[in-house]
């Protein structure tokens, strides 16, 4: 396959951004981007309009842009508006009449940024918020109530804003956490009392971290650890605590706290953070993670946890390969039709810790979300590359932390409930039916007529994959069956980089999902697919390309 120089430059740009290697800015002059498509990196929809975030990674123009498309217009007239934005765009997300966009830094000594726009009835954008962030942003979301906006960053930083509904322009982001590991997939779970950010770990760039099978039969004894010395051999006691035993086997192991981060989701009580005036919390060591401090809030003293460790929760779950068929669970035994939450108790302490989640999609039920979970078999993720359905098992106290004022000196902090008491996990599309030929990123769930579909962007590009492993695909699968394999997967696959479908959004027309929108980063175009009511995608039909 012939690879042009523009294509090569883009591959180098992607690798450089992922590694944080950026060139210095110069005073060169560039033409206006106007309504061109240049390095598109994300798509979103609102009403009849589709939006394309142009990053201009190649730096051919003076800015990036968000291009507005009205696909009901005749071919050649789809581009109905453009809004200039910073270069190096990362993500866009729409919620009702609001849009949030994130932008990476353009130099090693520069800052990233976030912007919030109001979407007009004609698809035009008005900038309400433009704020620099001391990080490299990777994603931004707005809650379903439009109360919260959250940005996650490559280094694990989390910025939060409480949106001022009467004056969106007065909204300001504040850095509230540094979790020290990227978490791109985010969801804001809103309840009648408090609202929570759920943020799932992401191995950004070339995936080097895979899922992890480990034994959990022991628990760290804080007193033993605090009094241990170089000759001490035992710092644990019998009893599982959701942490892999080898992470707590020695003083050296517990000091390597970063080994835990890829397998931990963050659960941040946004409402409590706001009540405490958004104090910044970072990660502490294992032995001092339950330390507290006294802060002043509205003239009163309040005791809070000093560090953010207790807001991290290990993710572990088992996935049946096929309903009714035995599946090897890693210890030489097999199980059949075992519910995910029951497996850990049947496998002699083995837990299956998960990592690398890319996107969250919401449903009409705030307690039900979908996530894309991906992996590489050579890194241990032999049953990854799934679309998962998470049910939040909320009884009113699902995400409670112990009161920091009542912890005993030797008490283990952390959430009062285990992961399997918080979530039930089900695979609705995944590795078996894909024959491990997937790497799911962005996706959407929609109902067309009486059939419910999941549409998934599978993306492996030349920045990190060999030619034999490349995937530029849009998959469609019905998910309203009784078991996961009920319906086949329909796959449209791009033939080369010019059809390098990346990211995905679903456009509704007349109240019904009608089109799938994706962008070709390497081909500088937008790909538009018609949704088929029976198959999701008619793979015999090529997408319409907008250049």
Within a domain: 381: yes
Query: 58 falls in which pLDDT band (50, 70, 90)?
Result: confident
Q: Which two tokens stand for residue 455?
A: 């549409």
Contact between residue 140 and residue 93 where contact means Cβ atoms under 8 Å apart: yes
In this structure, are 405 and 259 located in the same domain?
Answer: yes
Residue 287 lies in a domain: yes
Is the domain of 283 the same as that of 340?
yes
Query: If residue 5 lies in a helix (H) or strand (E), which one and from where to where?
Result: helix 5-19
In the predicted structure, residue 510 carries a pLDDT above the cut 80: yes
The whole-number pLDDT of residue 410 equals 57
- Calculate the average pLDDT of the chain: 87
Q: Are residues 55 and 134 in the same domain?
A: no
Whether the predicted pLDDT of 125 surpasses 60:
yes
Question: What 3-state DSSP class applies to 137?
Answer: strand
Q: Do residue 72 and residue 109 come from a single domain?
A: no
In the prediction, which pLDDT does 464 show? 85
Q: For residue 195, tell me if it sits in a domain.
A: yes
Residues 286 and 351 placed together within one structural domain of the fold: yes
> What secondary structure does DSSP assign to 200-252, as a single string?
E----SS-----EEEE--EEE-HHHHHT--TT----EEES--SS-GGGSSSHH
Q: Do residues 66 and 200 both lie within one domain?
A: no
Domain boundary among 374, 407, 436: 436
If asked whether residues 144 and 271 sit together in one domain, one would say: yes
Residue 452 inside a domain? The answer is no
Degrees, nearest 5: CA angle 493-499-501? 75
In this prediction, residue 91 carries a pLDDT of: 98
What is the pLDDT at residue 268? 97
pLDDT tens-digit map of 495-504: 888 899 999 9
Cβ atoms 489, 476 nearer than 8 A:
yes
> 288 and 190, same structural domain?
yes
Strand partners, 302: 295
Do 171 and 145 fall within a single domain? yes
Same domain membership, residue 541 and residue 400: no
- Do 39 and 503 form a contact (C-beta atoms < 8 A)? no
Query: Does pLDDT of 486 surpass 90?
Result: no
Question: Angle at CA 319, nearest 5°, toward 486 and 312?
Answer: 135
- 498 closest CA partner among 7, 40, 38, 5: 7
Give residue 186's pLDDT. 98
Confidence of residue 475 (pLDDT cuts 50, 70, 90): very high
Helices (H) and strands (E) in the chain, counts: 7, 38
Instruction: State how far the alpha carbon of 447 is from the alpha carbons of 163, 411, 457, 458, 478, in Å.
Output: 31, 48, 18, 21, 9
CA 306 to chain centre: 26
Confirm whether 393 is domain-assigned.
Answer: yes
The confidence band for 106, taking pLDDT boundaries of 50, 70 and 90, is confident
| pLDDT at 469 (0 to 100) | 85
**92 falls within a domain:** no
Is 3 within a domain?
no
**How many Å apart are CA 102 and CA 125, to the nearest integer?**
15
Measured CA to CA, the distance from residue 511 to residue 374 in angstroms comes to: 32
For 192-220, write each residue's pLDDT tens digit.
999 999 999 999 877 888 999 899 999 98
Classify residue 510: in a domain, yes or no.
Answer: yes
How far is 180 from 289, CA to CA, in rounded Å?
Answer: 15
Q: What tens digit of pLDDT does each residue of 23-55 get? A: 444 556 889 999 999 999 999 999 999 999 999
Report pLDDT for 10: 60
Please indicate whether residue 333 or residue 433 has the higher confidence score (pLDDT).
433
- d(CA 150, CA 159) in angstroms, rounded, equals 6
- CA-nearest of 142, 261, 268 to 204 is 261
- Report the domain count for the chain: 2
| pLDDT-above-90 percentage for the chain | 64
Are 172 and 123 part of one and the same domain?
Answer: yes
**Same-domain check for residues 201 and 289:** yes
Q: Name the burial class of residue 397, with classes exposed (0-12), middle (13-18) and buried (19+) by CB atoms within 10 angstroms of its CB.
A: exposed
CB atoms within 10 A of CB 3: 12
Per-residue pLDDT tens over the stretch 429-463? 886 555 457 899 999 999 999 999 999 999 988 88
Query: Taking Cα atoms as reference points, which of 189, 149, 523, 210 lies closest to residue 379?
Result: 210
How many residues does the structure list for the chain? Answer: 547
Q: Report which listed range, 138-142, 351-355, 390-394, is most confident.
A: 138-142
Q: Which of 401, 436, 471 is the last residue of a domain?
A: 436
pLDDT computed for residue 340 by the predictor? 43
Alpha-carbon dihedral sign for residues 190, 196, 197, 198 = negative
- Cα 9–Cα 12–Cα 17 angle in degrees, nearest 5: 125
Residue that is last in its domain, among 407, 436, 465: 436
Domain range spanning residue 540?
27-87+457-546
Let me know: does 164 contact 149? Beta carbons within 8 Å.
Answer: no
Dihedral (CA of 172, 176, 179, 184) sign? negative
């Amino acid at each position: 396959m012939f690879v042009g120089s523009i294509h090569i430059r883009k591959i180098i740009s992607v690798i450089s951004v992922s590694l944080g290697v950026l060139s210095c800015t110069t005073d060169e002059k560039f033409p206006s981007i106007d309504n061109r498509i240049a390095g598109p990196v994300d798509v979103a929809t609102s009403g009849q309009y589709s939006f394309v975030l142009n990053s201009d990674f190649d730096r051919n123009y003076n800015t990036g842009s968000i291009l507005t498309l009205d696909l009901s217009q005749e071919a050649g007239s789809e581009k109905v508006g453009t809004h200039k934005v910073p270069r190096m765009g990362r993500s866009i997300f729409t919620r009702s009449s609001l849009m949030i966009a994130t932008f990476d830094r353009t130099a090693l000594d520069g800052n990233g940024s976030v912007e919030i726009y109001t979407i007009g009835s004609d698809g035009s954008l008005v900038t309400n918020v433009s704020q620099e962030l001391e990080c490299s942003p990777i994603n931004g979301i707005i809650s379903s109530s439009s109360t919260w906006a959250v940005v996650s960053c490559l280094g694990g930083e989390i910025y939060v804003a409480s949106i001022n509904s009467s004056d969106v322009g007065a909204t300001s982001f504040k850095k509230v956490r540094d979790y020290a590991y990227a978490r791109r997939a985010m969801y804001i779970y809103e309840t009648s009392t408090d609202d929570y950010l759920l943020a799932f770990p992401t191995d950004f760039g070339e995936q080097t971290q895979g899922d992890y099978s480990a034994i959990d039969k022991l628990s760290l004894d804080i007193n033993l650890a605090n009094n241990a010395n170089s000759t001490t051999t035992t710092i644990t006691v019998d009893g599982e605590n959701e942490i892999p035993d080898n992470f707590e086997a020695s003083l050296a192991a517990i000091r390597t706290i970063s080994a835990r981060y890829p397998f931990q989701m963050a659960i941040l009580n946004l409402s409590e953070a706001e009540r405490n005036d958004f104090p910044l919390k970072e990660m502490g060591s294992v032995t001092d993670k339950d330390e507290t401090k006294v802060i002043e809030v509205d003239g009163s003293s309040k005791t809070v946890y000093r560090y953010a460790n207790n807001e991290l929760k290990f993710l572990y779950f088992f996935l049946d390969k096929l309903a009714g068929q035995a599946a090897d669970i890693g210890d030489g035994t097999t199980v059949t039709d075992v519910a995910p939450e029951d497996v850990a108790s049947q496998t002699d302490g083995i837990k299956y810790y998960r990592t690398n989640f890319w996107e969250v999609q919401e449903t009409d039920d705030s307690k039900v979300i979908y996530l894309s979970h991906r992996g590489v078999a050579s890194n241990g993720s032999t049953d990854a590359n799934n679309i998962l359905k998470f049910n939040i098992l909320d009884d009113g106290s699902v995400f409670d932390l112990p009161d920091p004022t009542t912890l005993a000196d030797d008490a283990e902090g952390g959430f009062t409930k285990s992961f399997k008491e918080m979530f039930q996990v089900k695979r609705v599309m995944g590795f078996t039916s894909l024959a491990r030929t997937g790497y799911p990123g962005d996706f959407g769930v929609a109902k067309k007529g009486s059939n419910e579909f999941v549409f998934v962007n599978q993306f492996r590009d030349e920045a990190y994959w060999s030619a034999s492993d490349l995937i530029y695909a849009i998959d469609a699968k019905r998910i309203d069956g009784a078991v996961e394999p009920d319906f086949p997967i329909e796959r449209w696959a791009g033939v080369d980089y010019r059809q390098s479908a990346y990211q995905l959004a679903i456009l509704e027309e007349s109240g019904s999902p009608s089109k799938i929108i994706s962008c070709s980063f390497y081909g500088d175009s937008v790909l538009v697919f018609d949704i088929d009511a029976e198959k999701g995608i008619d793979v015999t039909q090529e997408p319409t390309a907008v250049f």
